C-alpha cells in the first residue's frame, strides 16, 4: 500500500520541507512540499536523492563495530560497546581529569538536534574544555572577527532588504550556505536573489571563479585568491578617502576610525588591484556602490576564510560592512525573529570579547576558546603534547576529522596515539577506520527532529516537527541515546537544555534533569524544546508540513542597556595588515589551488551516491583553458598537482569560468592517503596538499585550504 508522509530534509541547514512516498513501509520517493515552507516548494539534488541515500547507497553501518587486536573490525552489541567505552572513560577521567576527553562535532552532527544538545549536555557535565567542531576548520575567521571587532546585536541586513549586497568567496546556489555569514537564503537560493534584484538590489561577487551564483552579479570581480585583506582594505581606503562611509553609524557605534584610516592608507586601490590582478576600476566601482548604498550587506563564504591571511580577510570584509552601517537599525522590520525561540532585537554594539586571550587555553599553544570551542587544527598537537592535560580520548560525532584537517602525515600518527577513539557515524569513514569503536548511528528519517537549526535562518518565521518516517535498524543507536547512555555509565548526571551559539551552557536557567536509568522519550524532549515556541508543540504535531505563524511585525528596538562599541582596527589586526603590506609573493609555484563544492555531495557524505559517482569519478583539477594550453594539457589528461607539503594525482578539466593562475578542486574525495591511482581510489584527498605545521593563522590556527601555492604537470605514468 502506498502512503505519503510529510517531513523535512536534514542534509543541510536549509531543512527543506518534503513529502515522501512510502510503499510497504519503505521510502520510495521524495518530493518538495511547498504547502507551508517559507521557501515554497524546493528540494536540491541532495534532497531529491535523500531516499536513495537513506536506503543504503552508501555502505551504511547496520551494527556497531569494535576494533580487534589484529586491527580488523568485528560487530559489537551497543550495550557491550557502551560498557567498554564508559568504563575506560571513567578510569581515564579519574586518573587524568576531564580534560583528557575531547569531542569533535562534524557536519553530520549539526542537524541531529537531540544528539547535538545531548552532546552539549554531556560535555558540560563532564567539564572538559576540549570541544572541537568543523566550525574551527571552516569559517572560524568569522568568530575571530567577532572576538576582535565585536558584533551588532541586531544582525546584518537580510538580502531582500538590501540595495547593495556583496558576497566574497561563497557559492550559495550550490552550497545553500547563507545567513548569518554569507549573503543568501539557504533554501531555494535563486528565488532570494531574484527577489532582491527585483527590488533593485545591486549584487557584487568577489570570487576567482565565475560561480553559479555570479549569474546574479551586477559586478563580478575575479581576483587571485588570498588577497581579500588587500582588496577590502582598499575599499575601506576609498570609503574613507571619499567620505562616503556612514559617519553617523561609526560615530555612534565604532572606535578606531582614525587607526583604521592610518592602517589602510597604504592600501591604495592600485596596490590591491596589482596584487589581486584585477582592474582597479572594479575596486573603485565596488566602493562607489557600497558608499552610495542605504542598506548594505558585505559578507563572505568559505573562500576568504580558507585563504592566506584568513583572519585579516574576514576582519576587513566586516570593517567594510561596518563602514557602510550594514546592520539592521532601530525601526527596521525583523523578517524572522525566530519561531521556536522568538528574540527581540536591539540596535546595540557588543564589544569584542577577546575570549581566546582567557583561560581555558590549549596546552600546546597560547590560545583559548572561540564561542566555547578550541581550534580543531590543534587537535593533533593537543594529543601529542608532553603535558598532563593532553587529549587521550576523542569522540567523533558525525565527522571525519582526519579528512577534514588535512596533512595526514601529521594528523594520522596523532590519532593513532590516542588511548581511545570513538566514531559515532552512519558510515565507516576514514577516521572511523582508525577508531577503537564505531557506533552505528541512526539516520535522519529514523529520528524525531524539531527545526531548531533553521529557526533563525528561514527567511520568514516557520517551524516544523517530525516523527521518524521509518524505524531505525535494531543495531543502530540514536546519537542522543549514545551520549545519554555513556553519561549514565560514567555516573555523570545530565541536564538537557535549549543551548544555542553564544550561550554558556551552565548559565541557561531552564533544563530537564534526566534520569540515568530511565531513557528519555525523544518526543518529550522536543516538546520541552518548544516550551517557549510561538507555535504550540501540539500545533506542530497536527501540522507535519510545518507552520508559518502569523506574528505581529517586530522591529529593531533601541539599545536597552549600556551598549559596547565595535573596534575597527585593534593593534593586532593593524600589525597583520602591515605584515601583508611588506610581504613578497610566494615564489616557485605557478598556480594557487582553491576550494570548491559540488551540488551532489555534502563534504564526505553522499560521495558514493549514484549521481555523485557518475559525475565525479575523480575530483577533477579544474583549470582555465589558457593555462591548460600553456601546460600542453588536454581535457581529461592525467596530472599531478604538487604543493610544498604533498602531491596528488587526478585529471585536468577545462573550465572557462575559472580565472587564469588558479586551479580548483573539491575536498573529501578518495582515501586519506592516495594510492596514486585516482580512478581506483575514487579521487584524491586534497588534504594531502595542506599543512598542519606551516601557514597557520594566529588565534584560531586555521590551516590554509585555499590559495595554496601549487604546480601542475602532466602525469605521464598513466
Ligand atoms: N552541495 C554542497 N553543499 C554544501 C557543502 C558541500 O560539500 N556540498 N558543504 C557545506 C559546508 S561544510 C560549507 S562550510 C558550505 C560552504 O559554502 P560556500 O562558502 O558557499 O562554499 P564554496 O562553494 O566552496 O564557495 C567558496 C568560494 O570561494 C572561492 N574562493 C576560494 N578562495 C578564495 C579567496 O581567496 N577569495 C575569494 N574572494 N574567494 C575565494 C571559490 O572559488 C568558491 O567559489 O557549504 C555547505 N553546503
Ligand atoms: N582541504 C580541504 N579541507 C577541508 C575543507 C575544504 O574545502 N578543503 N572544508 C572544511 C569544512 S568547511 C568542513 S565543514 C570540514 C568537513 O569535515 P567533517 O564534517 O568532519 O567531514 P564529513 O565528511 O562531512 O563528515 C560528516 C560525517 O557525518 C556522518 N553523518 C551524516 N549524518 C549523520 C547523522 O545523522 N549522525 C551521525 N552520527 N553521523 C552522520 C557522515 O556519514 C560523515 O561521515 O572539512 C574541512 N576541511
Ligand atoms: S538545500 Fe539542503 S535541506 Fe534543502 S533539499 Fe538540499 S540538502 Fe536538503
Ligand atoms: Mo563547512
**pLDDT tens digit sequence for 411-464:** 999 999 999 999 999 999 999 999 999 999 999 999 999 999 999 999 999 999
Of 526, 542, 558, the position where a domain reaches its end is 542
**Ligand (nearest to CA of 39):** 3
> Do residues 117 and 182 both lie within one domain?
no
Domain CATH for 618: 2.40.40.20
Half-sphere exposure of 493 (CA within 13 A, CB side): 6
Count Cβ atoms below 10 Å from residue 386 Cβ, excluding itself: 7
- Ligand 1 atom 5: residue of nearest CA: 602
> Do residues 619 and 707 both lie within one domain?
yes
Of 542, 575, 596, the position where a domain reaches its end is 542
Domain CATH for 327: 3.40.228.10
Domain CATH for 437: 3.40.50.740
Residue 603 CB less than 6 A away from ligand 1: yes
CA–CA gap between residue 516 and residue 492 (Å, rounded): 8
Calculate the alpha carbon distances from 460 to 159, 197, 412, 416 in Å.
Answer: 12, 19, 44, 47
What DSSP assignment string belongs to 164-209? EEEEES--HHHH---TTTSSS-SSSHHHHHHHHHHTT-EEEEE-SB
Domain-located, residue 56: no
Of 479, 511, 542, the position where a domain reaches its end is 542
Q: Are strands 73-76 and 64-67 parallel, antiparallel or unpaired?
A: antiparallel
Q: Which ligand 1 atom is nearest residue 231's CA?
A: 38
Count Cβ atoms below 10 Å from residue 46 Cβ, excluding itself: 24
Residue 307 CB less than 6 A away from ligand 1: yes
- Ligand 3 atom 4: residue of nearest CA: 16
- Ligand 3 atom 6: residue of nearest CA: 44
Ramachandran angles phi, psi of 294, nearest 5°: -95, -35
Domain-located, residue 105: yes
Count Cβ atoms below 10 Å from residue 650 Cβ, excluding itself: 26
In a mutational test of the pocket of ligand 2, which residue from 46, 59, 304, 425 has the highest number of ligand atoms less than 8 Å from its CB?
425
- Ligand 1 atom 6: residue of nearest CA: 602
> Do residues 366 and 276 both lie within one domain?
no
Residue 597 CB less than 6 A away from ligand 1: yes
Coil, strand or helix: which one is 31?
strand
> Do residues 116 and 145 both lie within one domain?
no
Domain-located, residue 467: yes
CA–CA gap between residue 227 and residue 232 (Å, rounded): 9
> Do residues 102 and 160 both lie within one domain?
no
Domain-located, residue 53: no
Domain-located, residue 504: yes
Residue with cell 569519478: 617
pLDDT at 53: 85
Count Cβ atoms below 10 Å from residue 217 Cβ, excluding itself: 21
Count of domains observed in the chain: 3
In a mutational test of the pocket of ligand 3, which residue from 8, 10, 12, 19 has the highest number of ligand atoms less than 8 Å from its CB?
12
> Do residues 73 and 203 both lie within one domain?
no
Q: Which of 105, 56, 110, 101 is nearest to 404 (CA)?
A: 105
Q: Which ligand 1 atom is nearest residue 666's CA?
A: 24
Q: How far is the CA of 404 from the centre of ligand 2 (A)?
A: 7
In a mutational test of the pocket of ligand 1, which residue from 14, 143, 169 has the highest number of ligand atoms less than 8 Å from its CB?
169
Domain-located, residue 552: no
Grid cell at residue 98: 576531564
> Do residues 92 and 206 both lie within one domain?
no
Q: How far is the CA of 610 from the centre of ligand 3 (A)?
A: 17
Q: Which residues is 152 bridged to in the sheet?
A: 349
Instruction: Write out the H or E segment, with its range, that includes residue 556.
Output: none
pLDDT at 110: 94
- Ligand 1 atom 32: residue of nearest CA: 303
Handedness of CA 445, 450, 453, 456 (dihedral sign): positive
> Do residues 238 and 340 both lie within one domain?
yes
What DSSP assignment string belongs to 450-504? E-GGGTTTSSS--B-EE--SSPPPTT-B-HHHHHHHHHHHHT---EE----TT--
CA–CA gap between residue 56 and residue 54 (Å, rounded): 5
Domain-located, residue 576: no
> Do residues 80 and 166 both lie within one domain?
no
CA–CA gap between residue 604 and residue 670 (Å, rounded): 9
pLDDT at 610: 82
Residue 278 CB less than 6 A away from ligand 3: no
Q: Which residues span the domain enclosing 116?
A: 65-138+355-542
Ramachandran angles phi, psi of 512, nearest 5°: -105, 115
Handedness of CA 154, 156, 159, 161 (dihedral sign): positive
CB-based contacts of 627, cutoff 8 Å, min separation 6: 591, 660, 661
Residue with cell 583561560: 359
Pick out the chain residues at pLDDT < 70.
Answer: 57
Q: How far is the CA of 603 from the centre of ligand 2 (A)?
A: 5
> Do residues 451 and 433 both lie within one domain?
yes
> Do residues 413 and 534 both lie within one domain?
yes
> Do residues 219 and 116 both lie within one domain?
no
**Ligand (nearest to CA of 226):** 1
Task: State the pTM of this model.
Answer: 0.98
Domain-located, residue 47: no
DSSP state at residue 604: T
Ramachandran angles phi, psi of 533, nearest 5°: -70, 145
pLDDT at 236: 99
Amino acid at each position: 500500500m502506498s502512503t505519503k508522509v510529510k517531513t523535512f530534509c536534514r542534509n543541510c541547514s536549509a531543512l527543506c520541507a518534503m513529502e515522501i512516498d512510502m510503499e510497504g513501509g519503505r521510502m520510495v520517493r521524495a518530493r518538495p512540499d511547498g504547502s507551508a515552507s517559507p521557501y515554497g516548494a524546493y528540494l536540491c539534488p541532495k534532497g531529491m536523492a535523500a531516499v536513495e541515500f537513506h536506503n543504503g547507497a552508501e555502505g551504511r553501518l547496520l551494527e556497531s563495530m569494535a576494533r580487534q587486536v589484529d586491527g580488523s573490525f568485528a560487530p559489537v552489541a551497543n550495550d557491550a560497546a557502551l560498557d567498554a567505552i564508559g568504563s575506560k572513560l571513567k578510569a581515564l577521567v579519574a586518573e587524568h581529569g576531564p580534560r583528557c576527553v575531547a569531542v569533535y562535532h562534524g557536519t553530520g552532527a549539526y542537524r541531529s538536534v537531540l544528539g547535538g544538545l545531548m552532546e552539549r549536555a554531556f560535555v558540560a557535565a563532564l567539564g572538559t574544555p576540549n570541544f572541537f567542531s568543523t566550525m574551527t576548520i571552516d569559517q572560524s575567521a568569522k568568530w575571530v572577527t567577532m572576538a576582535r571587532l565585536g558584533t551588532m546585536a541586531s544582525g546584518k541586513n537580510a538580502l531582500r532588504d538590501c540595495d547593495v549586497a556583496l558576497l566574497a568567496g561563497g557559492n550559495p546556489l550550490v552550497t545553500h550556505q547563507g545567513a548569518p555569514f554569507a549573503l543568501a537564503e539557504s533554501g531555494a537560493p535563486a528565488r532570494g536573489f531574484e527577489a532582491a534584484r527585483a527590488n533593485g538590489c545591486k549584487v557584487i561577487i568577489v570570487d576567482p571563479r565565475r560561480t553559479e551564483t555570479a549569474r546574479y552579479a551586477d559586478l563580478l570581480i575575479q581576483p587571485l585568491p588570498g588577497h581579500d585583506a588587500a582588496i577590502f582594505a582598499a575599499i575601506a581606503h576609498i570609503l574613507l578617502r571619499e567620505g562616503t562611509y556612514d559617519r553617523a553609524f561609526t560615530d555612534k557605534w565604532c572606535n578606531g576610525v582614525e587607526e583604521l584610516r592610518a592602517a589602510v592608507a597604504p592600501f591604495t586601490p592600485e596596490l590591491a588591484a596589482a596584487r589581486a590582478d584585477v582592474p582597479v576600476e572594479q575596486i573603485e566601482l565596488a566602493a562607489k556602490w557600497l558608499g552610495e548604498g542605504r542598506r548594505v550587506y558585505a559578507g563572505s563564504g568559505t573562500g576568504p576564510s580558507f585563504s592566506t591571511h584568513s583572519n585579516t580577510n574576514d576582519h576587513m570584509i566586516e570593517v567594510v560592512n561596518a563602514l557602510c552601517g550594514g546592520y539592521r537599525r532601530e525601526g527596521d522590520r525583523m523578517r524572522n525573529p525566530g519561531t521556536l525561540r522568538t528574540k527581540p532585537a536591539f540596535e546595540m554594539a557588543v564589544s569584542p570579547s577577546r575570549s581566546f586571550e582567557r583561560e581555558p587555553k590549549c596546552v600546546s599553544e597560547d590560545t583559548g576558546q572561540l564561542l566555547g570551542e578550541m581550534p580543531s587544527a590543534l587537535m593533533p598537537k593537543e594529543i601529542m603534547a608532553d603535558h598532563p592535560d593532553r587529549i587521550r580520548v576523542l569522540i567523533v560525532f558525525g565527522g571525519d576529522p582526519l579528512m577534514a584537517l588535512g596533512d595526514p602525515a601529521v594528523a594520522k600518527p596523532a590519532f593513532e596515539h590516542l588511548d581511545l577513539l570513538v566514531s559515532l557515524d552512519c558510515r565507516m569513514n576514514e577516521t572511523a577506520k582508525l577508531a577503537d569503536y564505531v557506533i552505528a548511528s541512526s539516520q535522519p528519517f529514523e529520528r524525531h527532529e524539531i527545526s531548531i537549526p533553521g529557526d533563525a535562518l528561514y527567511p520568514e518565521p516557520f517551524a516544523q516537527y517530525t516523527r521518524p518516517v521509518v524505524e531505525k535498524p535494531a543495531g543502530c543507536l540514536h546519537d542522543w541515546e549514545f551520549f545519554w547512555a555513556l553519561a549514565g555509565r560514567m555516573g555523570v548526571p545530565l541536564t538537557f537544555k535549549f543551548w544555542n551559539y553564544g550561550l554558556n551552557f551552565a548559565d541557561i536557567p531552564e533544563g530537564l534533569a534526566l534520569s540515568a536509568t530511565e531513557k528519555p522519550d525523544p518526543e518529550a524532549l522536543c516538546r520541552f524544546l518548544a516550551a517557549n515556541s510561538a507555535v504550540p508543540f501540539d500545533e506542530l504535531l497536527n501540522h507535519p508540513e510545518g507552520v508559518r505563524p502569523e506574528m505581529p511585525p517586530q522591529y529593531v528596538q533601541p539599545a536597552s542597556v549600556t551598549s559596547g562599541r565595535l573596534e575597527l582596527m585593534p593593534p593586532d589586526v593593524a600589525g597583520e595588515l602591515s605584515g601583508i603590506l611588506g610581504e613578497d609573493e610566494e615564489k616557485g609555484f605557478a598556480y594557487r589551488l582553491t576550494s570548491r563544492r559540488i551540488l551532489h555531495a555534502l563534504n564526505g557524505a553522499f560521495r558514493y551516491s549514484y549521481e555523485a559517482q557518475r559525475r565525479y569519478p575523480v575530483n577533477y583539477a579544474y583549470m582555465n583553458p589558457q593555462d591548460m594550453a600553456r601546460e600542453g594539457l588536454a581535457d581529461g589528461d592525467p596530472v599531478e598537482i604538487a604543493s610544498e607539503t604533498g602531491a596528488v594525482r587526478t585529471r585536468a578539466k577545462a573550465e572557462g569560468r575559472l580565472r587564469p593562475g588558479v586551479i580548483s578542486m573539491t575536498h573529501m574525495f578518495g582515501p586519506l592517503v592516495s594510492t596514486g591511482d585516482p580512478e581506483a581510489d575514487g579521487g584524491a584527498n586534497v588534504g594531502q596538499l595542506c599543512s598542519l605545521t606551516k601557514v597557520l593563522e594566529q588565534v584560531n590556527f586555521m590551516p590554509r585550504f585555499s590559495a595554496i601555492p601549487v604546480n601542475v604537470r602532466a602525469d605521464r605514468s598513466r
